[in-house]
Structure 1
């Protein structure tokens, strides 16, 4: 039994999956890039920047983004090589299945489910906060009981619940509609971010950047959690927390089944979306901490830090643009996260590791409609009724784990299968892969301890499900016993 959990899916089987896919191939390289940007630009800029500046890095928030971006570059290069040779839905899960073996592939798939599910829930709640702020600017409001979960003194978060179902409906309708919606939103929010950078730079006070890395201290949040603030430890803790913002290029790799020319376009989209967004993140973080002192992001300012920074400069009119862009922008993040999760389910179900329910494709829309509706159901309920303060770090855990595994797996496959066609090859692979594994593992260690424990519990549940269901239902298991 022990040897069978390391069995690998033959590369020829991936080729067969590509040929018989029922999904529509409608995504070109810029649509794929837009999907990456749609997922990356969202919570990181509009929600996490204030929290990480106040609780972790101070003015060195920009340095946290640089560190996270560097860690991502290593992983993105490895993803790009895999995508050029195994262009199938499933992302890091599929890559591991063809290289490391079934058990590790399952663990990565299970971690990606955590990544996308928790990410969608967190963003839904963040969207609700921005939506309430937006309608409040026009004198409208929703009763407080219907904007908070029961643990926060409300009945349930109605806006979060409803927006998840709007996104679910778009995803069920079809990938072309989802991509078109995402493209429109991406144009709007990139425009808003350029506005923040170009206008905000004229209101920077360099004194707000001093000291750039404040002395270490402990800060207690409203939820009672103790944060390791400032110093180099705070900078690294900030980098680990904002990693949640970088999962977009992973989402690109889940769309291989719907890409027109995946072997060429996916490596381009993965690297382009990461580079574009990292530059924007660093620029916004410098502007934000230059406009407003890092220790001023308290109370309501933590929920909408960019709008708060402009209000402090008596640029209240700008908050309309920023809040509207954030409200729209977070929809595309949700859309891509839920899209990615259903494609992970699809890849795992095709391999027999999950029930056939997850691979049923709608005859007209050509989408995995059953799993999409199930994901919408779970995400909407959790977002409406459960407190989600810790979920950002749990999402980062799933992301970092997958990235570390991909960096190791691409090197392993280069050694084992050197003659397989690769339209993109990682330069200096041994160095890049080693640095990728080490940096991602290091950032996992720097995550919130409670998040580490909860994510570890999630992985243990996944291991149990694998041995109870996945292992014996696997297509490879059935082929061996046939």
Structure 2
């Protein structure tokens, strides 16, 4: 490893022409947009807005979503610009290799591999949990966990991972079409719930729109002990942790920011995108716009149906909580169905992103190069199968709490390096 060696754009693109390691370009802008929506709109759309409203911003959580959308949009456009300049699999890993060097790229590459591996395991694990909950709502008891020799094996993650691994081996375009159909169904469920919720909205619940700032210790459900329990600017200035008001809007934006993440995974498919210079920015931009609108609509309904004070009294407030508090308990079944479908699409996109990162690192020789060989369909089939097996084993055997704590490793580091790399690349290569 030559730790500070940088790869030129020309060399990076030329390496994609190797017949054994050349991915087939089959995706268009709509496919990318659907992937972005598929990975960003999961179970969180039905809960994160309610939690941000209850414990941080009140009805002004709508502003929090707008702020988070704008900030996330800036990062997304950096990814889109890089991916259109260097339309190669690898996302932040590849971009870092061309601007900073091999060592940092290797670190970011492993960060992203671990992040997507753990995220895929967590989501597939949750898929089984929510599927069980959905079945119980319809009076069906389904057991997917079994004890074998002292180990608890959860079968549900194995089923969902095996299904999408098989589909991805058959072709990226086929997987994108199936994912697109489920995503459209998921959006339909979200919009249906939103439309129904609008009939329960009371204008009085939006007053005050920006509740006065309150000492965080006085609000149930807020943990204020420790440095990590308060925003950075409050810690630096020594101010008392507060919720609601302007501090609450900003901390709410920080909470919901991760709900928008997905464009970094979409960028890993740059090498499989037709006319990437046009389709990647369009796909990422359209996907982020749809996600932002959906989250804002759900936030409006969640805070309009019941007062944020009533939400704050709940241990884990969600959109389902709002419907239950107005007596529309039937909506829980529809929301549960939306959650299961939402998590289904997330699993597929994460499995795709995971293999494309490993593929790029492998092709550069920083992992065994055998992982970067493709099948006749232009798919890294061998790698896809190995990755699927690893995700299935991790998801079916480890505790969900352990997995959740490991998900966000490296995400912000990747965002920082990609955002810093765009001006560097503009100065070095204004011709691109």
The answer to whether the superposition gives a TM-score over 0.5 is yes
Aligned to 1:155, the other structure's residue is in SS state: strand
Instruction: Select the residue among 354, 361, 374 that pairs with 1:348.
Output: 361
Taking a change above 3 Å as real, the CA distance of residues 230 and 298 of structure 1, as seen in their structure-2 partners, is closer
**1:204 aligns to 2:217 (yes or no):** no
Q: Are 2:57 and 2:252, in contact at CA under 8 Å, matched by a contact in 1? A: yes
The equivalences for 1:364-379 within 5 A come to 365-379=377-391
Q: Determine the C-alpha separation between the residues in 2 that align with 1:239 and 1:157.
A: 35
Taking a change above 3 Å as real, the CA distance of residues 188 and 28 of structure 1, as seen in their structure-2 partners, is same
Q: Determine the C-alpha separation between the residues in 1 that align with 2:128 and 2:9.
A: 44
Q: How many residues align?
A: 411
Q: Which residue of 1 aligns with 2:396?
A: 384
Deviations 1:200-257 (CA, angstroms, capped at 9, x unpaired): 12212344445544624256689x9995572455544443343332222112211112
Q: Which residue of 2 aligns with 1:7?
A: 5
Q: Are 1:125 and 1:383, in contact at CA under 8 Å, matched by a contact in 2? A: yes
**1:180 aligns to 2:149 (yes or no):** no
Segments of structure 1 that go 5 or more residues without pairing to the other structure are 421-482
User: C-alpha displacement at 1:47, in angstroms?
Assistant: 4.5
Q: Which residue of 1 aligns with 2:74?
A: 74
Q: Are 2:216 and 2:222, in contact at CA under 8 Å, matched by a contact in 1? A: no
Q: Determine the C-alpha separation between the residues in 2 that align with 1:378 and 1:296.
A: 43
TM-score, scaled to structure 2: 0.84
Q: Which residue of 2 aligns with 1:101?
A: 101
Higher RCO (Cα < 8 Å, 6 or more apart): 2
Q: Which residue of 1 aligns with 2:419?
A: 407
Segments of structure 2 that go 5 or more residues without pairing to the other structure are 231-241
Q: Which residue of 2 aligns with 1:362?
A: 375
Q: Determine the C-alpha separation between the residues in 1 that align with 2:56 and 2:394.
A: 27
TM-score, scaled to structure 1: 0.76
**1:320 aligns to 2:330 (yes or no):** no
Q: Determine the C-alpha separation between the residues in 2 that align with 1:35 and 1:73.
A: 16
Deviations 1:286-336 (CA, angstroms, capped at 9, x unpaired): 211222344555899838x23332233232333333222221121111111
Q: Are 2:84 and 2:270, in contact at CA under 8 Å, matched by a contact in 1? A: no
Q: Which residue of 2 aligns with 1:194?
A: 191
Q: Determine the C-alpha separation between the residues in 1 that align with 2:397 and 2:53.
A: 28
Taking a change above 3 Å as real, the CA distance of residues 377 and 55 of structure 1, as seen in their structure-2 partners, is farther
User: C-alpha displacement at 1:390, in angstroms?
Assistant: 7.0
Taking a change above 3 Å as real, the CA distance of residues 350 and 47 of structure 1, as seen in their structure-2 partners, is farther
Taking a change above 3 Å as real, the CA distance of residues 164 and 100 of structure 1, as seen in their structure-2 partners, is same
**1:36 aligns to 2:36 (yes or no):** yes
Q: CA RMSD in A?
A: 3.2
Q: Which residue of 1 aligns with 2:233?
A: none
Taking a change above 3 Å as real, the CA distance of residues 392 and 242 of structure 1, as seen in their structure-2 partners, is farther
Deviations 1:133-185 (CA, angstroms, capped at 9, x unpaired): 22112210124x8399xxxx993443234322222222222212210111101
Deviations 1:425-446 (CA, angstroms, capped at 9, x unpaired): xxxxxxxxxxxxxxxxxxxxxx
User: C-alpha displacement at 1:76, in angstroms?
Assistant: 1.5
